[in-house]
């Protein structure tokens, strides 16, 4: 198993838990997914250590909420590069390792996106870069499905709503949500397990998970609160 993320300390703790529970070899490494050279070096390390891959799960993303009228061009590029460009580059480098693997165990590329922005390709105010990146990610996933299908590699887009983690339970300084009402991490694991257990003759191209709390209503409350604060601040000036 290979674990890649920003925080090496957290990765090491998770790696120890996995090793003690499942007695498997775990390679963990911090990675700067916006650096093509760094991504390439990590993929080379994986190839030298294991020689092949069976499954890739992509789950990288950032969000910067701001109206297009006041947004910074650099921030827009940063969101697109992280949420879409980094996924595309990692898949480009890793897919040959998965496709050429002669092992008959399940082979898959699973891209974890966002249900809110991908389910019906609906946008949202003050969030254009984030949603645009998710639209692109969904289109990319649908395309590479056809490229890798002859090699018996499943390609699935796993669209999730708010998850019970730091990002899901606290959306900026405006609102908090109970973790019990959100998607649990185990729910996502069950979806990945389902994808891998499907036969070679079938592939769940898209799976969408919605939390018990309505994320659309929550976001509307958030935007209403932001607008009210701005109006109040403008009147006090």
Per-residue pLDDT tens over the stretch 141-172 = 999 999 999 999 999 999 887 788 776 666 54
Give the number of domains in the chain: 2
pLDDT at 176: 58
Does 9 share its domain with 92?
A: no
CB 82 within 8 A of CB 33: yes
Considering the domain architecture, whether residues 95 and 207 belong to the same structural domain is answered as yes
Q: Has residue 28 got a pLDDT over 60?
A: yes
Indicate if 16 and 96 belong to the same structural domain: no
Same domain, residue pair 17 and 88: no
CA distance 176 to 147: 41
Residues 199, 94, single domain; the answer is yes
Query: Hey, what are 53's tokens?
Result: 């891959």
Of residues 175 and 197, more confidence is placed in 197
Q: Which of 27-36, 106-115, 138-147, 202-211 has the lowest mean pLDDT?
A: 106-115
List the beta bridge partners of residue 159: 113, 208
List C-alpha distances in Å: 39 to 25, 43, 90, 100, 190: 21, 6, 7, 20, 28
What is the Cα–Cα distance from 92 to 144, expressed in whole angstroms?
A: 10
* Residue 233 burial (CB count, 10 A): 9
Q: Domain range spanning residue 23?
A: 1-30
With both helix axes pointing from N to C terminus, report the angle between 86-99 and 128-148 in degrees, rounded to the nearest 10. Answer: 10
Asked whether residue 143 falls in the same domain as residue 63, the answer is yes
For 191-235, how does the pLDDT look when each residue is reduced to its tens digit (9 = 90+)?
Answer: 999 999 998 888 999 888 888 766 555 555 665 666 667 667 766
Do residues 6 and 90 both lie within one domain? no
Q: In the predicted model, is pLDDT for residue 21 greater than 70?
A: yes
Residue 174 has pLDDT above 70, yes or no: no
């Amino acid at each position: 198993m290979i674990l890649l993320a920003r925080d090496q300390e957290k990765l090491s703790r998770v790696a120890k838990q996995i090793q003690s529970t499942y007695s498997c070899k775990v390679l963990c490494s911090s990675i700067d997914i916006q650096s093509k050279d760094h991504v390439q070096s990590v993929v080379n390390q994986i190839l030298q250590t294991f020689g092949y891959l069976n499954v890739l799960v992509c789950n990288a993303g950032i969000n910067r909420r701001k109206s297009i009228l006041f947004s910074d061009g650099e921030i827009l590029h940063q969101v697109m590069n992280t949420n879409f460009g980094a996924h595309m580059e990692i898949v480009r480098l890793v897919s040959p390792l998965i496709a050429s693997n002669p092992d008959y165990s399940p082979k898959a590329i699973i891209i974890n996106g966002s249900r809110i922005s991908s389910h019906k390709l609906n946008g949202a105010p003050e969030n254009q870069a984030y949603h645009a990146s998710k639209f692109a990610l969904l289109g990319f996933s649908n395309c590479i499905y056809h490229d890798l299908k002859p090699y018996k590699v499943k390609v699935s887009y796993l669209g999730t709503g708010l998850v019970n983690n730091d990002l899901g339970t606290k959306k900026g300084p405006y609102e908090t949500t109970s973790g019990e009402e959100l998607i649990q991490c185990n729910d996502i694991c069950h979806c990945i397990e389902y994808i891998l257990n499907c036969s070679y003759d079938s592939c769940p191209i898209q799976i969408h998970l919605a939390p018990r709390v309505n994320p659309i209503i929550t976001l509307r409350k958030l935007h209403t609160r932001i607008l009210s604060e701005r109006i109040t601040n403008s009147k006090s000036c």
